[in-house]
Structure 1
Amino acid sequence: MKKGFRFLAVACAMGLSCMTGAAIAAKPDPPLTVAVFGDWPYSTPLLNNAPLLLNSVNNDPEVNLVIHVGDIHSGSMPCTGAGLNPIPAGANPGWNQGVFNIFQQFKDPFVYTPGDNEWTDCHKTKESSSGYPLNELAAVRSLFFPIPGYTLGGVRKEVASQALENEGNPTDAQFVENVMWKQSNVLFVTLNVPGSNNDGLPWSGGTGQFLNEGARLQEVAERNASNLRWLDRAFKKAKNAAAVVIALQADMWDLAAVVPGGDGLNGYDEFVQALADHAVAFGRPVLLLNGDSHIYGADQPLADPTSATGLIHHTQAVPNLTRITVQGSTNTPNEWLRLAIDPSSPNAFTWQNVCYLSCP
């Protein structure tokens, strides 16, 4: 036996790490394709046309994950999740259940994060002052998150849930909707960050019947703190990841919200600053997926602190953060976002819109 092989044999016999021949190259992480949409369905016709969306997504052989970024009915539709009695005029008591049933028909794991229309805004007169926000949020959690730590969809994917991972912060256990998972060396995380200035508007109702500033302020404080802890946890888990994907509902750079009479965007300042800090420290691609403003767009909102979007939250420059706002179902063409992720690519993300209804 040659001296080199004799040493190798002895080392292996001693339990030391060894390899024969050339070094074995690490197997690259496989690419991943994700279907993303939100602000859907906004009307009965759109719900009735759900098979078109289902077929378009389910028949794509490369899609293996689906994400919905919130708003399961329009902002002028009464909320019905909490079983209202009497039922407001124009309400559909079975709406949420019908949407849930559609979600379950997607063949791949289906991840949903709540939007403002299904809970935050239920007090508004344009939603017929149809529900107390905390009751509606509880109803959404009960229906759409029945098994903490698992997704919806034809394949229930196991995920980390803040409802189960809340050491030292027992109030975080209520946030069953906040989940994270790692797939193809990419860290995915969802957070309950709704529109309407992050639930920053008083719960008025048509006659002030829902006014409860103490409860609203407590809700906002608890959720913001939990979101910050969950975001921090996500980036810690992403230490060696190729990229991070964040999904939430709010358009935190909606310029229409900062004009006189708008809802404002200051309710997101703390979260956006934390996002900026984490993204800069991470140093690799970070993608934020949101809905809320309904018109497709892609930008780098924090790349230039002197830009229109950069001046909203006044963070440092964050060149590695990309944001995509998905097309809402009230606009045509009706599209879903086909997000391709290649963890071996320096840019990680490419995407295109796929039309399924009212196509040009």
Structure 2
Amino acid sequence: MNDMKIEFGVLIVSLGIIVLFNIINLSQWYSLLFVIPLGIYCFIIYKQKRENNIIVRSNKMLEDVNKLLENNLKDFEDVYNSLEVPIFSYTYSNKELFISKSIEKVASISQETIIDNPMEWKELVYTEDKMKVNEKMKWLEKGNNTKIQFRIKHTDDSVRWLELIATPKNDSNNNIVKIVGTIHNITRQKELEDKLRQLAYYDELTDLPNRLMIFKHVKKALARSKRQEHNLAVMFIDLDGFKNVNDTMGHDAGDTLLKDVATRLSESVREEDLTGRLGGDEFILVLEEVQNEEIEMIAKRIIENISNPFIIDGEEVNVSPSIGISMFPSDGEVFDELVQNADKAMYYAKTNGKNSYKFYTSELEEYEPPKFSLFNKIKETVAKLGSNSQR
């Protein structure tokens, strides 16, 4: 606006000079000699000032835009770093990682450390989980969406479960240019899963595997035994004298006794053997890759350990085990046969002196155990599992 005023003023002065030349009778030709250069000069001045004004205005606009971008970037960074769930972006071309500050809450590593060395987080992964993580990372690098659950060591020596969800971004040639994703702390979820698994598969009183867990274990053990052609033994154990303890000392004393029995049974077998509780005073053992001589040694050790007195509420309590044993493959090749024959052998031992063990033989084929035997309880569990799998 100021430039227009200046040029307008120059124009008025020029017209005034032309009028003056006319008054003093100078020719029009002389006036043109003055006016044309003056007009050219005004045009040049105008153009320069206009260009200068454009540059000034452009610089001002750039300053405003930069300031706005800086403010927006600061706001973005504040939001980015305030997220509870860490988010990240890894660029392949320059191997640059951006990750939100919340990674420090999830893992025992600083934002700066992992940005400087993007692969540093792998050092925190539990040794048992590293192979799984490496396999999943290879799957991701092939361009596939990936979800990885793994454990890390935290600074307070606690175990944390993390879930990394990553998505690769490809260019027009289908080459990976970037990987984006999130990292979730799923420790509470895993703890809840463990509790639910404990309730589903383990006896609440003794913490031994329950019927459902026993069935699943035996099913897998039989598959291994068939594949590797090795023996497998099933032991059924029933406590002689437990009912008397329950009736005379009460159920709390009976529960304490069962927990102590469970401990002694676990101490009597090998580390790799399964010790489970079917219910009441009835237990089951599953032993893989074992010969008859070793089974007899274990059975005798169980009898000796369980027959030793227990101290319940300051009183000495005595019970004894009756043990029935069946073998794969000689006494059965499927779960039902092994369970039924171990059940028959156990009741034979119970009705013939107690505090003893008995291997199943063909002589027991026609032997009929009581109606509410261990075999019937196992059959009920198998039937329930079958009906559930059909739903």
Q: Say which structure, 1 or 2, has more relative contact order (CA 8 Å, 6+ apart).
A: 1
Greater helix content: 2
Whether the TM-score (by the shorter chain) exceeds 0.5 is no
Indicate the structure (1 or 2) with the bigger Cα radius of gyration: 2
TM-score range, shorter chain: under 0.3
> TM (normalized to structure 2)?
0.24
